[in-house]
Amino acid sequence: MFTDFVKENLDSDNLEKAPTRDGYGSGLLLAGQKNDRVVALCCDLTESTRTHKFAEQFPERFIQIGIAEQNMASVASGMAAMGKIPFIASYAMFSPGRSWEQVRTTIAYNDSNVKIIGAHAGISVGPDGATHQALEDIAIMRVIPNMVVIAPADVYETERAVLAASEYIGPVYIRLGRSATPVVTKPDSDFAIGKSYLAYDCGDDSSFIKKIGLISTGSLLSNALFAAEDMKKHNIGGSVLHLPTIKPLDTEGLLEFSSSHDLLVTLEEHQVAGGLGSVVSEFLSETKPTKIIKIGVKDRFGESGEPDELMSYFGLDVKGIVSTLQKSVGDLN
Amino acid sequence: MRYLTSEEIKALEYKANEIRESVIEMLVSAGSGHTAGSLDMADVFTLLYFGIMNHDPKNPDWEERDRLILSNGHICPVLYATLAHAGYFPIEELNTLRKFGSRLQGHPHRTALPGIETSSGPLGSGLSQAVGMSLAERIDNPYSSKMFYCLTGDGELNEGQIWEALMLAGKEKLNNLVVIIDRNGIQIDGYTKDVMPLEPLAEKLSAFNFDVQEVDGHNLRSLNDAIGKAQSVYSKPSVIIAHTISAKGVDDFERDYKWHGNPPGKGPEDRVKRSEQYEVALQKLKKLSEAIEL
């Protein structure tokens, strides 16, 4: 639970921030030090994806593929067939965007032990604009059988996710953002593939008119926490369930969380179609049909802008989330 | 490279013919599948599995084995037939091709059958995987003598990913990689020269920093020489353009692109009626085997 994080950082100007891709850089290095079968591949983006740290320390275990993402996916498959644990990194829009079929056939169908890192996912990519802002990657990856899909919340969780991925046997996809985002977890916080975490529990206060369950993935965790805290002002209780693993879904954790709230709201830096919101809706519609409001990008492309501007424009910042929550509660009455 | 005696050549020719017979049987039993490429690559497959490669049918995961990566997975009937004749699984199982529950999937599935190095079907990915395997081997043992044979189609060279892989292989100077192209001049919609011309192919491959050889894809001695030379090239990866006659072995089916994706019984009828295609194919192959004086 991250109640301390909220208390310490609400209204703070000194919020510690770091980009999740830094967690990939450090996690990959740690994984490589732990296991000499770990190799890294990159498509001409070593510094941006932070692969360069591994490449500098283990040059013989790093392959520079050049700008050829389809080749990278299948080369990794071949390396995995020889017993290596390949991590392949590029921007999510290109890998797995461009290489989706190769990922499906040569990695997932082959049951290859390849870890796919999709950097620059989400809106907060910023000025590069729509072509570089992957908003569909969760959707296209979760529908592939055999694929694990993870969106870690912050730099520390990313590092732990990368380590967990290196030990997991099977294909894994990890999506990372570009901008520095608030550091919520601690270096020794728990992370296990397939587990959800109750990040914030508003408890049972009789003054609450309604209780909202926020379900978030990726770096929106901090915004979800601040929004939940903010709702107290309006006598609305907000709890937050953090789902860093989108597939496999922690059905138990989700079911338990959903039972105690009047309304559920999912949050993702992704299209509302096919991502976290869809996963949650699909599962609950069969087990415990509930009204679910999906916060995310509503079926449109991103655009150029500063990360903060874009997050605000798309309603993904704290203000935007609070506004959506208030409206949703209003609609309930 | 090992010199092959006349007796060995004849034995290989006979075996290739047996494999062609199995290919025909399998395709007819399945009722669908790819005839032309499966027939025309029988000589290359026979030579590799029975004359050149270091492998153990009783131990398909033997780490020291040479690897054959079939990139144009649709010709899997000849891969399956060769593996069966080599002893990887019973020959009887060949008639389960494409059937529900079979280990012999319509396009190879790596985890389904021992001896298959990768799943393939969508063209263009096998070469990348062969490159990856060769790279991994080099990390573990730069002086390794394992060979990685990647078989591709010629229509398959239309796929951009092939050239991505070729570029990387050339950059990395993967001398344990030998690519063998089934240059049968056909693809689904027509002859390669009409659908997507490839010439000058040898020059293109050479420009990608490969050692290039062109050879008669049905002459075992020439193939053996070419592969032997490819094995000895140390500064570059190698590619062998194997000039083949599509559907080689059944002359009534040869050189017709319409035999690419149909089994005997469902092929074009301009030379042989569908009801006779199976019979004719077996007859032709029987005659060929009788002509080989063992």
Residue in B closest to A63 by C-alpha: B135
Please judge whether B132 and A74 are an interchain contact, meaning their C-beta atoms are less than 8 angstroms apart.
yes
Q: Which of B135, B146, B163 to mutate to test the interface with A (most CBs of A within 10 A)?
A: B135
Q: Which domains does chain B have, with CATH numbers?
A: 6-291 (3.40.50.970)
> Angle formed by the axes of helices A155-167 and A20-34, to 10°?
30
Cβ(B13)–Cβ(B5) below 8 Å: no
Evaluate if residue B79 carries a pLDDT over 70: yes
- CA dihedral (B146, B135, B164, B116) in degrees, to 10, reads 50
Cβ(B186)–Cβ(B244) below 8 Å: no
Task: Tell me the pLDDT tens digit for each residue of B20-71.
Answer: 999 999 999 999 999 999 999 999 999 999 999 999 999 999 999 999 999 9
Evaluate if residue B2 carries a pLDDT over 90: no
Instruction: Give me Rg for the CA atoms of chain B.
Output: 18
**Which residues, in sequence order, are CB contacts of B19 under 8 Å at separation 6+?**
B42, B45, B46, B78, B81, B82, B85
Please judge whether B128 and A82 are an interchain contact, meaning their C-beta atoms are less than 8 angstroms apart.
no
Is A105 near chain B, with CB under 8 Å?
Answer: yes
Q: Where are the alpha helices (DSSP H) in A43-173?
A: 52-57, 69-81, 100-102, 137-142, 155-167
Between CA A266 and CA A256 the distance in angstroms is 15
Q: What is the DSSP string of A243-305?
A: -SEEES--HHHHHHHHHT-SEEEEEEEEESSSSHHHHHHHHHHHHS---EEEEEE-SS---SS
Please judge whether A111 and B110 are an interchain contact, meaning their C-beta atoms are less than 8 angstroms apart.
yes
Residues of A in contact with B173 (CB under 8 A): none
Residue A333: predicted pLDDT: 66
- Residue with tokens 């290196």, as numbered in its chain: A166
Evaluate if residue B184 carries a pLDDT over 80: yes
Q: Which of B164, B166, B179 to mutate to test the interface with A (most CBs of A within 10 A)?
A: B164
Between CA B90 and CA B83 the distance in angstroms is 9
Residues of A in contact with B121 (CB under 8 A): 105
Residue B71: predicted pLDDT: 97
- Could you please state the CATH topology (level 3) that the domain comprising A18-182 is classified under: Rossmann fold (3.40.50)
When the pLDDT of each residue in chain B is averaged and rounded to a whole number, the result is: 97
Give the tokens for residue A47. 């510094």
Q: What is the DSSP string of B177-223?
A: EEEEEEE-SEETTEEHHHHS---SHHHHHHHTT-EEEEEETT-HHHH
Is A84 near chain B, with CB under 8 Å?
Answer: yes
Please judge whether B119 and A78 are an interchain contact, meaning their C-beta atoms are less than 8 angstroms apart.
no
Give the tokens for residue A71. 């080749």
Please judge whether A82 and B119 are an interchain contact, meaning their C-beta atoms are less than 8 angstroms apart.
no
Give the tokens for residue A169. 């046997």
Residue A204: predicted pLDDT: 81
Burial group, residue B6, by CB count within 10 angstroms (0-12, 13-18, 19+)? exposed
SS3 A115: strand
Give the tokens for residue B140. 């573990």
Between CA A65 and CA A67 the distance in angstroms is 7
Cβ(A270)–Cβ(A141) below 8 Å: no
Please judge whether A81 and B137 are an interchain contact, meaning their C-beta atoms are less than 8 angstroms apart.
no
Q: How far is CA B268 from CA B31, B184, B264, in A?
A: 15, 18, 9
Give the tokens for residue A253. 């954790």
Please judge whether A101 and B131 are an interchain contact, meaning their C-beta atoms are less than 8 angstroms apart.
no
Give the tokens for residue B210. 């490969």
Please judge whether B137 and A106 are an interchain contact, meaning their C-beta atoms are less than 8 angstroms apart.
no
Instruction: Give me Rg for the CA atoms of chain A.
Output: 19
What band does B133 get if pLDDT is binned at 50, 70 and 90?
very high
Task: Give the closest-approach CA distance of B13 to chain A in angstroms.
Answer: 32
Q: Which of A37, A65, A82, A144 to mutate to test the interface with B (most CBs of B within 10 A)?
A: A82
Please judge whether B109 and A109 are an interchain contact, meaning their C-beta atoms are less than 8 angstroms apart.
yes
Between CA A32 and CA A46 the distance in angstroms is 16
Is A95 near chain B, with CB under 8 Å?
Answer: no
Residue in B132, B140, B160 closest to A78 by CB: B132
Residue in A73, A78, A84 closest to B130 by CB: A78
Is A110 near chain B, with CB under 8 Å?
Answer: yes
Residue in A68, A79, A111 closest to B132 by CB: A79
Between CA B193 and CA B186 the distance in angstroms is 8
Is A73 near chain B, with CB under 8 Å?
Answer: yes
* Residue B3 neighbours by CB distance under 10 Å: 9
Between CA A134 and CA A97 the distance in angstroms is 8
Give the tokens for residue A145. 């059988």
Residue B66: predicted pLDDT: 98
Cβ(B149)–Cβ(B127) below 8 Å: no
SS3 B267: coil
Give the tokens for residue A213. 């369950």
Q: Indicate which residue of A69, A157, A229, A268 is catalytic.
A: A69
Q: What is the DSSP string of A175-202?
A: E--SSEEE--S-TT----TT--EEEE--
Residue A278: predicted pLDDT: 98
Choosing among 3.65.10.10, 3.40.220.10, 3.20.20.80, 3.40.50.920, the CATH entry for A194-332 is: 3.40.50.920
Q: How far is CA B189 from CA A30, B34, B56, B158, B183, in A?
A: 51, 14, 39, 13, 16
- How many residues are given for chain B? 294
* Pairing state between β B211-216 and B238-243: parallel
**Which residues, in sequence order, are CB contacts of B63 under 8 Å at separation 6+?**
none
Between CA A311 and CA A219 the distance in angstroms is 12
Residue in B110, B121, B125 closest to A102 by CB: B125
Residue B230: predicted pLDDT: 97
The residues of chain A that CATH labels 3.40.50.920 are 194-332
Please judge whether A106 and B140 are an interchain contact, meaning their C-beta atoms are less than 8 angstroms apart.
no
**Which residues, in sequence order, are CB contacts of B101 under 8 Å at separation 6+?**
none
Predicted ipTM of the assembly: 0.96
Residues of B in contact with A102 (CB under 8 A): 122, 125, 128, 161
Residue B294: predicted pLDDT: 67
Residues of A in contact with B141 (CB under 8 A): none
A69 an active-site residue?
Answer: yes
Is A35 near chain B, with CB under 8 Å?
Answer: no
Residues of A in contact with B135 (CB under 8 A): 63, 75, 78-79
Is A179 near chain B, with CB under 8 Å?
Answer: no
Number of A/B CB contacts below 8 angstroms equals: 103
pLDDT, one tens digit for every residue, chain A (333 residues) = 888 888 788 777 788 999 999 999 999 999 999 999 999 999 999 999 999 999 999 999 999 999 999 999 999 999 999 999 999 999 999 999 999 999 999 999 999 999 999 999 999 999 999 999 999 999 999 999 999 999 999 999 999 999 999 999 999 999 999 999 999 999 889 999 999 999 999 888 888 888 999 999 999 999 999 999 999 888 999 999 999 999 999 999 999 999 888 899 999 999 999 999 999 999 999 999 989 999 999 999 999 999 999 999 999 999 999 999 999 988 876
Give the tokens for residue B58. 């009783």
Between CA B36 and CA B20 the distance in angstroms is 11
Amino acid A243 reads L
Please judge whether B118 and A106 are an interchain contact, meaning their C-beta atoms are less than 8 angstroms apart.
yes
Residues of B in contact with A101 (CB under 8 A): 122
Residues of B in contact with A39 (CB under 8 A): 136, 139
Residues of A in contact with B146 (CB under 8 A): none
Residues of A in contact with B167 (CB under 8 A): 66, 68
Which residues on adjacent β-strands are paired with residue B215?
A: B242
